Amino acid sequence: MKDELKILLAYMIIIGIIYFIENRISSFLFSNKPYRNLSKHRMSKEEACKILGIKPRHLKKMSMSDLKSIYRKKAMEVHPDQSGKDGSEFRDVNNAWSELKSYAFA
């Protein structure tokens, strides 16, 4: 009786592992998400300023709240729900914001 329970338990564990692996593989193969490139291109300070419409020489004089308000206005303009465009411009604005907030008080 104990041997039969051990065999049944081992069988159930193997079935659970197979089920888990199948779900992982199928979710990877059939997902609608595009493959993300893991090597991100860091944009320069000048590129980020151009995207947000800021002159690079004014960046040192700006406060963080000024920079944030400029970012929010630009993000609202190019947001896919607001503008009806695809999200590429919105991603660029977000990337520019992430780059420039490190330069603001450097």
In a domain, residue 78? The reply is yes
DSSP designation for 43: P
**Same domain, residue pair 2 and 52:** no
In whole angstroms, give the CA distance from residue 49 to residue 38. Answer: 24
HSE of 13, CA atoms in CB hemisphere, 13 A: 6
pTM of the full predicted structure? Answer: 0.57
In a domain, residue 38? The reply is no
In whole angstroms, give the CA distance from residue 102 to residue 72. Answer: 17
Q: Please count the other Cβ atoms lying within 10 Å of the Cβ belonging to residue 101.
A: 15
User: Could you report the per-residue pLDDT of 35-76, keeping only the tens digit for each?
Assistant: 444 445 678 888 999 999 988 888 888 888 889 999 999 999
Structural domain of residue 1, as residue ranges?
1-33
In a domain, residue 40? The reply is no
User: Could you report the per-residue pLDDT of 7-21, keeping only the tens digit for each?
Assistant: 888 888 998 888 877
Q: Say how many domains are in the chain.
A: 2
**Same domain, residue pair 51 and 86:** yes
